[in-house]
Structure 1
Amino acid sequence: MSAPVNHFPAIHRVVTGHDAEGQAIVASSGPLPSVVEIAAIPGTVFHEVWSTTETPAPLNNGADPTLGPLTLPPPPRGTRVRFVDIPPDTDEFLAHGAARMKQAFSQIGDEAASTVQAHSPHPLMHRTESIDYGVVIAGELTLVLDTGDVQLRAGSVVVQRGTNHAWANRSGQPCRMLFVLVDGQFDPVITATFAHPTDVPVAP
């Protein structure tokens, strides 16, 4: 059976700025210039909205920051905003997807983010050193953690504080999420708990 078609509309982005007299203007209005499907996970699409590279963020008429390479985490001291379309999990992906995660996370510029092990509850288990605000815009999703799952629906908001997790789509239909990622720093006490001698890497 073929996968459900993604009927989500294209994202329309409006960026404001200032003219020479300091008046508010529309700097750009239209579709996002950076929309990328992840080759190792067909149907997973990143829609890059904006990013900042420092805090406080300079309020200027600078260039579009989404035109560079796709990168999962936010820049140091920065932020990143994106939509992500997440396709339904397939039996093939659940059985063999873990072996493709190196390729998938390499395409989004953070191969080290993948934490999948032979015993992991989902192939997409990963962790970034950031606080992520994830909002379900349409569809349903399951937040997978080390110790259990949480069902999410349109309107659900997840405050992801650098924890190991995955987004599982068990609904049979595509899901669209909005993410705001903010650069963070792990508490050393928490960092010390990450390495587990019993972890068994996934065979390539």
Structure 2
Amino acid sequence: MSFPEIHRVVTGHDSEGRAIITSNGPLPKVVEIEAIPGTVFHEVWSTESTPVIIDNGADPTLGDLMLPPPKQGTRIRFVDIPPDTEEFLAHGADNMKGAFSQIGDEKASTVKADSPHPLMHRTESVDYGVVIEGEMTLVLDDSDVLLREGSVVVQRGTNHAWANRSGKMCRMLFILIDGEYEPALASALAARGA
């Protein structure tokens, strides 16, 4: 099963300050993750600062594919996630360095021999993850939660993975906001070797 193409409309201003459409069509950057066949990132937009500079600048999705948001910035993307396979669960951890390298954040992978899922990772960000279609399981260090269409996760820099145990494709929307661990939490994570 494949999902429909995502249609994006971007607004801006003309030289006299009137609202205009600057882009109207398919997303210019859609990338399948080579190490995880069937996983597709649909890059919608990103911002480089907070507060964001509102201008008619270039499309920020045209650069390199990056998992985390820019420092002090945001990122929005859809991700199509295939069902986990026995092969992936047994040997997927071997490919995670390559997968996270392709998405610009090799150090995000936290997978170890005893990890509950091969896609365990952590980013120093707050991420809103919304299940658009299908089912997904959020996997944490000691628990997991089944998510269905309309479920939203507020993921606050934790070690986690997205496990598709449904047997069907899942599409999620992610909005990532750059963050910084508060000092006591940063110390606790460092003490755990995380």
- TM-score class normalised by the smaller sequence: over 0.9
Give me the identity figure in percent: 73
The offset of 1:7, in angstroms, is 2.0
C-alpha separation between the residues in 2 aligned to 1:72 and 1:197?
Answer: 23
In structure 1, the partner of 2:103 is 108
Q: TM-score, normalised by structure 1?
A: 0.93
Letter of the 2:169 counterpart: P
What aligned pairs does 1:1-204 form with structure 2 within 5 A after superposition? 6-195=1-190
Gaps of 5+ in 2: none
The offset of 1:193, in angstroms, is 2.1
Which region of structure 1 is more displaced relative to structure 2, 185-194 or 141-150?
185-194
Please report the RMSD computed on the Cα atoms of aligned residues, expressed in angstroms: 1.2
The offset of 1:122, in angstroms, is 0.1
Letter of the 2:97 counterpart: K
**Cα deviations by residue, 1:160-185 (Å, 9 ceiling, x for unpaired):** 00000000000000000000000000
C-alpha separation between the residues in 2 aligned to 1:63 and 1:27?
Answer: 10
Aligned length: 194
Aligned residue for 1:127, secondary structure, equals coil
The offset of 1:52, in angstroms, is 0.4
Aligned residue for 1:192, secondary structure, equals helix
C-alpha separation between the residues in 2 aligned to 1:116 and 1:193?
Answer: 18
C-alpha separation between the residues in 2 aligned to 1:161 and 1:196?
Answer: 19
Gaps of 5+ in 1: 1-5, 200-204
